[in-house]
């Protein structure tokens, strides 16, 4: 009997239901994947609460690893027995087994375990596209990165260290500061007791940074703008604290600043490009420059509890559901 988390209305974690579901054979272009780990991401909360639209009733999640059990007609990218992961595709990763488009599946190399891959698919690919595509880093820059002890943040810190970028990370507690430092942050700002922009100016001898990667959103917007050099770039890549509304006049007043709100789908397609991104990520992992293991594990049935932990800032690094 297969199981999945589904929701029939948007709202708090209590809307998530653990149900038995029918999973059939894959049709043309599809594969059936049995999950070993399902990864939690903050975007799942946006879907659950209705900030991002979902056709209800809906499954949830877009990030998991596992093994291909069967493929439908016309599928040549993967075959039964292949270890795979994915980060794109229809909602529904919160499940033990599912049928899905084969074109989004990424074969996992030997040497990258399922548990490590579960921390990388969405989170590592996000670090790749933020640092290598949205605002490409050359090495040597000092950057500001918010939520540096989080799921994406811990991978981003390691990636920055790997390419010689000096990362200033923000975190809310001293315990998280230790984690950010261990992953490669050269400077850590503890937001519960330090002024972010003031500290960034001190660290950069008054100059500010050329780029801020801000996934926190509403609560950090002004600090991010105040931390930038003239003509600097705000990469607004998430809204964990709430949506961002920017008066464009402010961008002129604060230094002719640039702002972008990137989404993975526009940077990780077509498939050949997604596989190239994954290859670069796995190269770092196989060389030992980037590592990852889930820091919180919950049974699939306890997805609501996992959501409560993630949205109340109790997690560090990656959180997974075990089918």
Q: Does 181 bind ligand NAP (CB under 6 A)?
A: no
Site string for ligand NAP, 156-175 (x = CB under 6 A): ---------------xx---
Looking only at residues 208 through 237 of this chain, which bind ligand NAP when binding is defined by CB under 6 A? 215-216, 219, 237
Q: How far is the CB of 127 from ligand NAP (least distance, A)?
A: 9
Residues β-bridged to residue 297: 320
Q: How far is the CB of 291 from ligand NAP (least distance, A)?
A: 16
Q: How far is the CB of 201 from ligand NAP (least distance, A)?
A: 20
Q: How far is the CB of 20 from ligand NAP (least distance, A)?
A: 28
Q: Does 262 bind ligand NAP (CB under 6 A)?
A: yes
Q: Does 152 bind ligand NAP (CB under 6 A)?
A: yes
Helix/strand/coil (H/E/C) assignment for every residue in 158-221: HHHHHCCCEEEEEECCHHHHHHHHHCCCCEEEECCCCCHHHHHHHHCCCCCEEEEEECCCHHHH
Indicate the burial class of 128 (C-beta count within 10 angstroms; 0-12, 13-18, 19 or more): buried
Q: Does 204 bind ligand NAP (CB under 6 A)?
A: no
Q: Does 297 bind ligand NAP (CB under 6 A)?
A: no
Which residue lies nearer to ligand NAP by CB, 84 or 216?
216
Q: Does 311 bind ligand NAP (CB under 6 A)?
A: yes
Cα dist from 296 to 117, 135, 226, 312, whole Å = 15, 30, 34, 14
Q: Does 149 bind ligand NAP (CB under 6 A)?
A: yes
Measured distance CA(40)–CA(320) in Å, rounded: 6
Among 200, 234, 315, 320, binds ligand NAP (CB under 6 A): 315
Which residue lies nearer to ligand NAP by CB, 66 or 294?
294
User: CA-CA-CA-CA torsion for 180, 185, 191, 192, nearest 10 degrees?
Assistant: 40
Which residue lies nearer to ligand NAP by CB, 26 or 262?
262
Which residue lies nearer to ligand NAP by CB, 147 or 203?
147
User: CA-CA-CA-CA torsion for 169, 172, 173, 178, nearest 10 degrees?
Assistant: -20
Nearest to 304 by CA among 87, 18, 3: 18
> Residue 238, SS3?
coil
Q: How far is the CB of 177 from ligand NAP (least distance, A)?
A: 9
Backbone angles phi, psi at 19, to 5 degrees: -125, 160
Nearest to 166 by CA among 205, 192, 122, 112: 205
Q: Does 121 bind ligand NAP (CB under 6 A)?
A: no
Among 42, 47, 86, 159, binds ligand NAP (CB under 6 A): 42
Cα dist from 294 to 111, 118, 140, 282, whole Å = 17, 7, 30, 17
Residue ranges binding ligand NAP (CB under 6 A) = 41-43, 122-123, 126, 147, 149-153, 171-172, 176, 215-216, 219, 237-241, 262-264, 310-311, 313, 315
């Amino acid at each position: 009997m297969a199981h999945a988390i589904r929701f029939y209305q948007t709202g708090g974690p209590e809307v998530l239901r653990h149900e038995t579901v029918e999973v059939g054979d894959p049709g043309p272009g599809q594969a059936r994947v049995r999950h070993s780990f399902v990864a939690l991401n903050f975007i799942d909360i946006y879907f659950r609460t209705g900030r991002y639209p979902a056709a209800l009733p809906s499954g949830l999640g877009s990030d998991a690893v596992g093994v291909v059990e069967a493929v439908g007609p016309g599928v040549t990218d993967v075959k039964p027995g292949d270890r795979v992961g994915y980060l794109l595709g229809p909602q529904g990763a919160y499940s033990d087994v599912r049928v899905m488009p084969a074109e989004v599946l990424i074969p996992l190399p030997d040497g990258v375990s399922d548990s490590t891959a579960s921390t990388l698919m969405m989170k590592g690919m996000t670090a790749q596209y933020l640092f290598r595509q949205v605002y490409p880093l050359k090495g040597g820059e000092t950057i500001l990165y918010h939520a540096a002890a989080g799921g994406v943040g811990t991978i981003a810190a390691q990636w920055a260290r790997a390419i010689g970028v000096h990362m200033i990370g923000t975190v809310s507690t001293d315990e998280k500061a230790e984690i950010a430092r261990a992953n490669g942050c050269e400077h850590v700002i503890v937001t519960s007791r330090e002024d972010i922009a003031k500290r960034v100016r001190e660290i950069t001898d008054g100059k500010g940074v050329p780029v801020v990667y801000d996934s926190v959103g509403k609560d950090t917007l002004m600090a991010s703008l105040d931390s930038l050099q003239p003509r600097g770039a705000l990469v607004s890549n998430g809204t964990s604290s709430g949506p961002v509304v920017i008066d464009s006049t402010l961008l002129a007043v604060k230094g002719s600043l640039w702002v972008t709100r990137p989404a993975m789908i526009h940077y990780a397609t077509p498939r050949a490009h997604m596989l190239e991104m994954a290859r670069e990520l796995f190269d770092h992992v196989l060389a030992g420059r980037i590592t990852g293991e889930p820091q919180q594990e919950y049974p699939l049935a306890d997805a609501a509890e996992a959501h409560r932990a993630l949205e109340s800032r109790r997690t560090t690094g990656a959180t997974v559901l075990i089918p």
